[in-house]
Structure formats: structure tokens, C-alpha cells
Amino acid sequence: MHETNAFRPTRKSLMKTDPALFSALVAVWLSFAIFIFLPVIRLLITTFYVDGIFSLANMRKVLGTSYNIKALYGSLILATSVSIAGTFLGYIFALAVTRTALPRPLKVLLGAVTILPLISPPFTSSISLTLALGPNGMLLKALGIGDFSIYGFLGTWISETLTYFPVAFMVISAILNTMSATLDDAALSLGASRWRMFTTITIPLSLPGIGNSILLLFGASLADFATPLILGGHTFPVLPTEAYLMITGMFDLRGGATLSFLLLVPALLVFFLQRMLLGNKSFVSVTGKNGARTEFAKLPTALSVFICAVCLFIVAFILYLYAIILWGSFVKVWSVNNTFTLEHYAYVFKHGQKAISDTLLIAFLSTVIGSVLAVVIGYVAQRKQFFGKRFFEFTSMLNYALPGTVVGIAYIIAFNQKPILLTGTLSILVAAYVFRYYATGIRSVIASLEQIDPALEEASMSLGASSVRTFTHVTIPLIIPAVLAGMRYLFIHCMTAISATIFLVSVRWTLLTTRILESMTELQFSQASAFSMVLIVIVFLADALMLYLLKVTTSKFHKPQEISYEKVGA
Amino acid sequence: MKKSALELREVTKIFQKGREVVRAVDTVNLTVEQGELVTFLGPSGCGKTTTLRMVAGFELPTGGSITIQGKDMTNTPVNKREIGFVFQNYALFPHMSVFNNVAYGLKSRGEKDADIRPKVIEALKLVGLQNTENRYPSQLSGGEQQRVALARVIVMEPNLLLMDEPLSNLDAKLRLHMRTEIRKIQKKLGITCLYVTHDQSEALTMADRIVVMNKGKVEQIGTPFEIYSNPQSLFVADFIGHANIVKLEVASLSQESITAKIPGGTSFTAKALKPDVYSATEVLYHVGKSAALIVRPESIQVGAAQEGEGIFPATVVSSIFVGSHIEYELLLKNNATIHASVPFSTGMEIYGEEASVSLTFDEQNSAFLPA
């Protein structure tokens, strides 16, 4: 920068050259300061300062307990296992959809079933696994297995893998789809067998997707709080649940903060690795080049058969689990009294009404505010040059990169005292959602802007339009599909997330997901199922509405845009 | 005194690429008169587009001043300059109909709908696109999109029409057609135009004057004829018309001309050019040292081997019959490669590979530049 300044002695301040950008930056940085920096700094202070001086006492105390060490190992082992198993399943599903001769309706079914875990609350698979394989489990009885416990590593691992493999599927199928089919043709024409083609072309070229998927799933599993809380049990502790129990059970804020710091380190490591892997390329949006394209060559027959068999088994299992929840919500007492009843739904609508309306209000507010912020941040980051831009981008994604438990604990520490006393209010819930889940929106806005030639905005300016008019008349109409796609996922996240907000709910504001958790801990499986069904239906309807809007706005001038996303730390 | 349409004074643009400082545009001076069409010609990365973008206001110069219609606009934002910019990829708004694209600037200016309609229709008529108002850009061909882009700026009656390689995305035939079309419209409206291109034939056929740029600097400014026949530098000679550049030893000098030794032959005399960049008193040529002979492929005659005054003996490397011409690649006795383009007429002899031939250079169309 020094050399540039030498040539430009009268460098004008940003305030004068671009007042709109200047005020936007000031506003955004201010919100970052309050809702991103302040909580993280307060968390660090709580962890490392005792009585006003730097101290490792908290750390020593926490690491001195063998149970906590076990939780740290548990978290890392679980995250590793889930990321490997989930990526493997995701790869198989992606191959089934992009490279096999499965009939089209079956491929659509595969895609649809993988959407289910994404729009469900994080407990769904845990609940149904409990109902199927837990004590009095339906499947256990059917198979005649008596001595089996779902609780512990195994159950948690299965449940998280089923919950997160759709993310791997999306990331990997995106990359398998964008590969050039002519490479397959080239390999075959050079005399390669189908096996050789698969091992020397398809697999190496999809390695970036595999790497990205492993990192995403590692992060997601590391942060997952709901599954181990239900299925982990005492034998298999992990960090997020330990931190939660330490705070809610033992009221030890310092201990909880310290545990969540342990979680923060690997999470940030994964975040940095992922940024390095992807460089500046965004995996969020993949625009299909629908030009003349040849078909991908099919896989070797044996492999195809194996892939299809695995997929159909998994799909059947997922559908079975959802059927259990549906059924469970309609019977009196699961597995004991199977009489049909609507009493659980009556209970949900009577006692859960507040949770439903609160959740909807919070999700709606967060979606609107988050989208506006995502548009501003995405636009500024993609189109403008300013000092500290990389740091700006990094900061905007920080809460998204951190496990929800960390964010939740940091928020209660930061906002339970003056000057910013927010605990127990609506704003703290909305803020937690906005600054975590607008990340998908930011990425899809950036990806969409990358495909829009800046010449369009220059054309508008050169025709005499102001920068504000250019933004509202040219930029916004062109990125509307991306904004809607971002809103869609923001809304889903707000409806289904729990890890951060479990710390922030209060008597005044409660959430559907916390009601599900309460029902589960009181062993009211049927109520939990009914709550889950209601939530799934709401999310499904809202999602359909968003998709419809997306279709309407993506009219003839918009290229078909396929936006996938990564769900991290729900 | 009549105001110039545009004046660039010492305009400089410096980019910072990592630790490297790039002088993309280096002290460019230019005056453009009302109604003139000036092309910026040069290889990619020569600074021609950056210069145009500074005139438009998309980039601010690091140094120097830009005056449009007598007003200093060096730091004026683009939307206050009243210029029209035609983009390489047209930059039509994909979400607006043709009508709304053309009306966009008028609406931004706050004109009344009743006034806008006739103006838009008139502009579309001028570019030959009646009855397309309700279509969308994606429904138009490349050539039609190009015309809409043109209509969109001329409807604004801008001070300056700036065009950034507007024809480079069209196929060859349409490009030729649009050249004359754009020139016709520009003359009809009397609009001052800056036109960036890397295609020398486009520059030669369209321009009143050409600005040849290289590495951020202006190499030469002149009419197409001046640039072609009187290149001021080896770069211009090479870039315009792919002249042969042959280094020859100077045998004798006069005020106006140079006589040089022909390798394996006698001597050849042609005018000695004195580029403006040198001061009047500077001595550019020396007896016994080399000078660069500039000769264009079409100013060379290829004949049967013989000896004589001014004849260059040569060997044929390849000869290609392209219909109207024979393209020769030849080797002089000093191993310099020469390209010759000889008009073909029936009964003419075509010399094959390895044949010994003699070349005659047209003295009127040859010149020496400092080597």
C-alpha cells in the first residue's frame, strides 16, 4: 500500500469517495463487534482470567478430570468416524444419482429422501433409533435380539451419520456433476476399462469434494449436541453435552466455557483447512452448464449393483425411521399400548402453541434480518475494495465456523450483564440465529455475484444512474434467486437448530426444538414424536413455499441455478 | 475558440499487483475534436482499455487530467459525465425488455414516460431494430444485442461515445457489416467517439485518427494513412500491416535518405524516417552501423534469379497459394526472414521450395527507422 500512496498523495477517505459503502461498513462492523467479537472475547476472558489475571487454572481443573479427557477423545473419535462413514455414504449416493442406470424416479426418490434429514430437527433420527433399537425397541423385538444397547458410541455414530451424510451427498454430487463427461469418453477411447476409468478419472477428480465433505462432516459432528445428549449416555461423553451439563446441571459457567474452548480449537482448525482447500472458490453454487454434453459413462456393473443395493437399504432404513416417528406420534404408549390416539397432537397444540408461535416468529425475524445482512455483506465482499476486506470476510463467517455450543455459551456470558443485557429476550435468540446461519446466504449471494458481469453495473452507472439506483434496479433483481436460496436455508436452520439456542431460551421465549428435548428427557417419546412431526410439516411447507418463489423469480433471463449448501453444527 | 471534445493531459494509471508496480497507462496526451472517431489500437495489456475506462470514469487516473467538453472531469463519478459506454459483451440488463434497456438511462435522468417512448422508438429505428421493444436480450442474436447496446447509449445523446472492442464477440461477416453501420450512425449524429480495438483492419477502416499504444505508452497518433505509410517506430511498423523489418548496414547517408548494402548484392536506397520522439539535432544513423529497413509484404516483387542494382537475392522457404495472392516466406543472404504477398494473375510462375529468386522492394513504400 505504501507505494500506491506515494503516487497518490491526495488519497481521499472512503467517507467522501463512497459514502454508501462507508456507512454500510460502519454499521456491519459495529454489529460484528457486538455479536461476534464481544461474545468470543468474553468467552476467552472467562476461560483464561481468574480474578483479573491470566491463569490456566480453569484449564488445569477441567483437564484434570479424567471424564473430561474422555469427552475430548470421544468428540474427536466420533467426529472422525462420522466424517468417514458419512462421506462414504454420500459418495455412494452421489455415484448412484450421477453415474448409474437407475431409473429416473428412483433417482428422484434418493434425492428426496436425503432432503429429509436436512429439514428435520436434529433429534429425529435419535428418537426413531431409540424407538427402534432402544429398550423395548420394535426392530429388536422383530429380530429377536434381546441384549443390545443403542446408547453409547454406536448409536450416536449411526444417528449422526444418517443425519449428516446428505451434506456429503450434496457436496460430492455437485462435483461429480460438473466433471466433464468427455473425460470419461477420452479414457474409454484410450482403451481403459470401466474400473480403470473409475479409479483413475472419477475418484481423483472428486478428491476436492471428498476432502471438503470430510471436513464439513467432522465439523458438524464435533458440534452436534442433540444426538449425543440423547444417545450418548454416561459411557460415551462428548464435549458439547458435557459443557451443557456443566452449565445447566452444575451451574459452572467457567467450566462450561473452558470445555467449549477445547471444542473451539479443532473447529477453527477445520474451518481454516476448509478455506485452504477451497481457496476462493465457492462450493455453494454450482451452475450447470447445460450445453451440449455427453452422458457420463456408466460404472462397472459389479460396482453399480453394490452402490444401488447400499442406497436402497439406506433409503428403506430412513423411511422406516420416519414411519416410526409418524406412527409413534399416533399411539398411546409406544410399544406398550398401541391404540390409535390424537391426544399427543392435542397436547402439542394446547401446551406447545407458544413454542410453535415463538419459533415461527423468531425464524421469520431471523430470516428477514439475516437475508438483508447477507445481501449487504455478500455484495460488499464481492464487489468492493476496502481496507481489511479479508478480515471482514473471515469475521462474518466466525460464528458459523464455531460449534453452536460455543456460540451459545459465549452469548450467555456476554449478554447476561449490563451494558448489553439481552438474556431472556427475543433479540438474543434472533441475533444468535442471524450471525450463525446467514453464512449460507452470504455465500450464495457471493456466488451469484461472481456470475454477474460487473459491466452490468458499470453500464447502469454510465447511463447516469446513481449507485443506489444501480443496486436496487440492476443488482438486486439479478441476485434475487440467490437471496431466496439463502433465506430458505436460513429459515430451515432457525426452525431446527438447538445447539446454541438451548442456552438462550427462557420462560418468555421458547422453541419447538427445546420442547422436543424436554419431552425426550422426560421419556415422553410420543409427545416428542408429535412435536417433531409438527415441526417437519411446518418446515416442509415453508420450504415448498420458498422453492415456489424461487421458481417464480427464476424466470427466463436467469440461468438455471442449483444451489447446494452445507449444514454445519445444527 | 472551439472547445475540444476531449483532452487527456499526462494521464497515468498505476496498479499495484502484489509488490509489483505496473504502469498500465503512462503519461498519455491526446486531444479529440468534435465529431471525430479515434481508435485506440494495440496488443492486449497495452493500456488502451484502461485509458478508455478512465475517460468513462470507471477508473480514476493516478495522475494527469481529463477534460470533457472543456470541463475538468478527472475525478467526476461516471454517472455525472454524460458519456455513453458500449461494452465488449454488451452488458444488456437480462431482466429488462429491450424497451426498458434503452429507456433505462432516460428513466434514471427522471424524464417523463411520455417523452421517453418516442425517443426509444427513434433510437431503435436508427440501429435498425424496429418492433423488438418487448423482447428480452436472451431472445436476440449477438448482432441484435450489439445494436440494442448502441441504441441504449445514443438515446442519451452523450458527450462522448466510448466503445470497448464492441465487435469482438461477433462472427467475421457480421463484424465487417457492423463496422460500416457504426461509422454511418456516428457520422450521422456527429457524435465524438473513442473506439478500442486490437484489430488493425478495424482501426484502419473506421478511424479518423488512430492512437497506437504499447506497454502503457502512446507509440504514435495519426490518420490511418500516416500510421500505415509513416510509422514512427518499429513497433508500429510491425503491428500495423505486419511489415518486414530487416537490419542492413548503412553505406552512405543523405539528408533525407539512406543507402544500405544488400547482403550478396549491390545497394538499396529509401527514405530515412525521423520519429518525433527524437530531438531535431540528434543523429540517428551512422555509416557502417545498421538501420532497420521497413518493407511491407505487398511492396515486394518476386522474380527469377538475376543480378542488378537494388535486387535482393533470396531463397524460397515456402510458398502458399491463397487464391488472390501467393504468400512467400523467403530467406535473404544474411538469413533474415522476409514475407512477401504477391498478387496472383493467371500464367504467373509460382516458385517452389529451395528456389533461388530475386526480390525487388518498392522504394516509395519502403523506409528506414533507427535499428
Cell 470476510 belongs to A393
Are residues B300 and B333 both part of a single domain? yes
Are residues B216 and B312 both part of a single domain? no
Long-range Cβ contacts of A190-194 (<8 Å, 24+ apart): A193/A300, A194/A297, A194/A298, A194/A299, A194/A300
Are residues B252 and B122 both part of a single domain? no
Give the CA distances from residue B58 to residues A554, B120, B194, in Å, rounded to whole numbers and listed in that order.
Answer: 30, 26, 15
Are residues B136 and B265 both part of a single domain? no
Are residues B349 and B287 both part of a single domain? yes
**Interface residue A348 vs chain B (CB under 8 A):** no
DSSP B147-191: HHHHHHHHTT--SEEEEESTTTTS-HHHHHHHHHHHHHHHHHHT-
Residue B199: all three cell numbers together: 484489430
Residue A433: band (very low, low, confident or very high) from pLDDT cuts 50, 70, 90: very high
Residue A557: band (very low, low, confident or very high) from pLDDT cuts 50, 70, 90: low
Residue A291: what are its φ and ψ, rounded to 5°? -75, -155
ipTM of the complex: 0.78
Give domain status of residue B225, yes or no: yes
Write the single-letter amino acid at A243.
A
Boundary-marking domain end, from B235, B250, B267:
B235
Rounded CA-CA distance A57/A72 in Å is 18
Q: Give residue B273's Cα distance to chain centre.
A: 21
At B323 the pLDDT is 86
Give the count of alpha carbons within 13 A of A385, CB side only.
4
With a cut of 70, list the residues of chain B below it in pLDDT: 1-2
At A55 the pLDDT is 82
3-state secondary structure (DSSP) of residue B292: strand
Are residues B317 and B168 both part of a single domain? no
Number of domains in chain B: 2
Per-residue pLDDT reduced to its tens digit, A359-393? 999 999 999 999 999 999 999 988 888 888 888 98
Please give the average per-residue pLDDT across A248-274, as a whole number: 86
Give domain status of residue B1, yes or no: no
Give domain status of residue B258, yes or no: yes
Contacts of B63 in chain A (CB under 8 A): 7
What is residue B79's DSSP assignment?
G
Per-residue pLDDT reduced to its tens digit, A134-166? 777 777 777 777 677 788 899 999 999 999 999
Q: Between the ranges A211-225, A509-523, B33-47, where is the mean pLDDT highest? A: B33-47
Give the CA distances from residue B80 to residues A466, B83, B86, B91, B259, in Å, rounded to whole numbers and listed in that order.
Answer: 9, 8, 17, 20, 57
Domain ranges across chain A: 18-288+299-563
- Asked if residue A330 lies in contact with residue A340, where contact means CB atoms within 8 angstroms, the answer is yes
Give domain status of residue B318, yes or no: yes
Query: CATH no. for residue B213?
Result: 3.40.50.300
Domain range spanning residue B181? 6-235
**Interface residue A522 vs chain B (CB under 8 A):** no
* Pairwise CB contact (< 8 Å): A462 & B136: no
**Interface residue A269 vs chain B (CB under 8 A):** no
Are residues B152 and B42 both part of a single domain? yes
Give domain status of residue B282, yes or no: yes
At A558 the pLDDT is 47
Nearest CA in chain A to B78: A462
* Pairwise CB contact (< 8 Å): A456 & B156: no
CB atoms inside a 10 Å sphere around CB B36: 18
Percentage of residues of chain B with pLDDT beyond 90: 55
Going edge to edge, which strands form the sheet with B71-72? B20-32, B6-17, B63-68, B71-72
Are residues B341 and B215 both part of a single domain? no
At A3 the pLDDT is 38
At A294 the pLDDT is 56
At A485 the pLDDT is 84
Write the single-letter amino acid at A394.
F
- Give contacts of B 224-263 with A, CB under 8 A: none
**Going by C-beta distance under 8 Å and a sequence separation of 6 or more, which residues neighbour residue A105?**
none
At A13 the pLDDT is 66
3-state secondary structure (DSSP) of residue A399: helix
Are residues B220 and B293 both part of a single domain? no
Are residues B25 and B44 both part of a single domain? yes
At A128 the pLDDT is 86
**Interface residue A475 vs chain B (CB under 8 A):** no
Mean pLDDT rounded to a whole number for chain A: 83
**Going by C-beta distance under 8 Å and a sequence separation of 6 or more, which residues neighbour residue A236?**
A74, A78, A151, A152, A153, A156, A228
Q: Is the pTM of this model over 0.90?
A: no
What is residue A425's DSSP assignment?
S
Boundary-marking domain end, from B190, B217, B235:
B235
Find the CB nearest B91 among A456, A465, A467: A456
Residue B317: all three cell numbers together: 522457404
**Going by C-beta distance under 8 Å and a sequence separation of 6 or more, which residues neighbour residue A208?**
A175, A277, A278
Is pLDDT of A567 > 60? no
Q: Between the ranges A32-41, A57-66, A207-216, A521-530, where is the mean pLDDT highest? A: A32-41
Residue A91: band (very low, low, confident or very high) from pLDDT cuts 50, 70, 90: very high
Per-residue pLDDT reduced to its tens digit, B110-123? 899 999 999 999 99
* Pairwise CB contact (< 8 Å): A464 & B21: no
Are residues B182 and B65 both part of a single domain? yes
Boundary-marking domain end, from B188, B213, B235:
B235
Q: Give the fold, CATH level 3, of A18-288+299-563.
A: MetI-like fold (1.10.3720)
Chain A contact probe: residue of B82, B93, B96 with most A CBs at under 10 A? B93
Rounded CA-CA distance A166/A89 in Å is 9
